[in-house]
Amino acid sequence: MISVIIPSYNRKNTLEKTIRNILLQSYSDLELIVIDDCSIDGTEEMIKSFNDSRISYYRNAKNMGACYSRNRGIELAKGDYIAFQDSDDLWDVDKLKKQLSYLQNTNADMVFCALIKKNFQNTNSKVIPDRDVDKGFLTFNYLLKGNVISTQTILAKKNIFKNIRFDNSLPRYQDWDLVLQISKKYNIVFLNEVLCTQNISPDSISENYDKSITALNILFKKYFCKTTDKIALKYYYELLGYSYLKLGKNIQAAKSYAKSPSVHSLKGYFKVLLSLLDVYPK
């Protein structure tokens, strides 16, 4: 059985569609665990209107955040495998079936797939990962060089979560941190098919750049201060610089870009210069 975990906070309108989408999966041996993080929009009543014994509803005593809610879902899970979904995203009907087959055929512990990322107005889309991903098992050093795995693309054996959890201190990039932890002990593979649709709403966490900076500072202490890998450091400092730019903090952005190993290239130099002049594209 696969345990599907969804944390939700005031997402009644999109969550209903997401739940219906999961219940229609071609792989039907699943339980759906919804962790309601103290919603006040009628989420509980909507979920209890479903007549499906596979759904389990739990409400946090107070608002605790998505990481806590996913960890609570992990503790409650009864399945041999765990998948995560967000309350406004959708899966291909064969997502779980294809991933489980691929996981078993490759003797991996975790598999992730590609997703298509769409904005709220549905006027722009992008496939993630947006770069080639290595075949075979993905190492910690490889995954440190870029955040290519989103939570809703993951299917993993439950036993890997015995000592691994989402970091409650992270307001963003929890998925990146999770897979970095997993990659140190377990085998991760990529199924190169777009099986998820991520819908980005105006209040999405992925659009919150203050939280991005906070999370990146935490990740630096956990991982990036310990590496000399130029590709990983380039990715980190340019992601940090971009976050500062989105907030209009050009001096901090320039300082971040200046720390990137790419600053020694002509392209890197111009990123620093243009951010200081407030003309670098945001």
HEC assignment per residue over 212-273: HHHHHHHHHHHCHHHCCCHHHHHHHHHHHHHHHHHCCCHHHHHHHHHHCHHHHCHHHHHHHH
**Considering Cα of 103, then 107, then 110, then 115, what sign does the dihedral take?**
negative
Claim to verify: residue 209 and residue 71 sit in the same structural domain: no
Shared domain for 58 and 78, answered yes or no, is: yes
Residues 166 and 32 in one domain: yes
Tell me if 282 is assigned to some domain. Answer: no
% of the chain with per-residue pLDDT over 70? 90
Q: Is the confidence at residue 269, as pLDDT, over 70? A: no
- Residue 204 pLDDT: 65
Q: In this model, does residue 280 exceed pLDDT 60?
A: no
Give the Cα separation of 204 and 265 in Å (integer).
34
Own/partner long-range contacts of 225-228 (Cβ < 8 Å, ≥24 apart): 227/144
Q: What angle do CA 269, 275, 276 make, to 5 degrees?
A: 95
Q: List, for residues 70-89, the tens digit of each pLDDT value.
A: 999 999 999 999 999 999 99
**Strand extents, DSSP E, 129-225:** 154-157, 188-200
Residues 164 and 247 in one domain: no
Closest CA to 255 of 245, 247, 265: 245
> What pLDDT score was predicted for residue 266?
47
Q: Indicate if 168 and 215 belong to the same structural domain.
A: no
Domain limit, last residue, from 143, 165, 200: 200
The model's pTM: 0.90
**Full residue range of the structural domain in which residue 165 is found:** 2-200
Write the pLDDT tens digit of every residue in 186-220.
999 999 999 999 988 766 666 789 999 999 999 99
Q: Are residues 35 and 51 part of one domain?
A: yes
Does residue 53 sit within a domain?
A: yes
Q: What is the pLDDT of residues 152-170, one digit of tens each?
A: 999 999 999 999 999 999 9
**Lowest-pLDDT range of 22-26, 92-96, 252-256, 275-279:** 275-279
- Same-domain status, 136 and 265: no
- Residue 109 has a pLDDT of 98
Question: What pLDDT score does 255 carry?
Answer: 85
Residues 144 and 269 in one domain: no
User: 3-class SS at 117?
Assistant: strand
Count CB neighbours of 37 within 10 A: 21
Q: Does pLDDT of 230 surpass 90? A: yes
Last residue of a domain, one of 153, 172, 200: 200
Asked if 148 and 11 sit in the same domain, the reply is yes
Asked whether 65 and 174 are in contact (CB, 8 A), the reply is: no
Rounded to the nearest integer, the mean pLDDT of the chain is 91
Long-range pairs for 161-170: beta carbons < 8 A, 24 or more residues apart:
161/74, 161/82, 165/71, 165/74, 166/66, 166/67, 166/68, 166/70, 166/71, 167/67, 167/218, 168/64, 168/65, 168/67, 168/68, 168/71, 169/218, 170/67, 170/215, 170/218, 170/219
Domain end point (choices 182, 200, 218): 200
- The stretch 254-281 carries a mean pLDDT of 63
Q: Are 211 and 192 part of one and the same domain?
A: no
Residue 281 lies in a domain: no
Q: What is the pLDDT of residues 134-145, one digit of tens each?
A: 889 999 999 999
Q: What domain count does the chain have?
A: 2
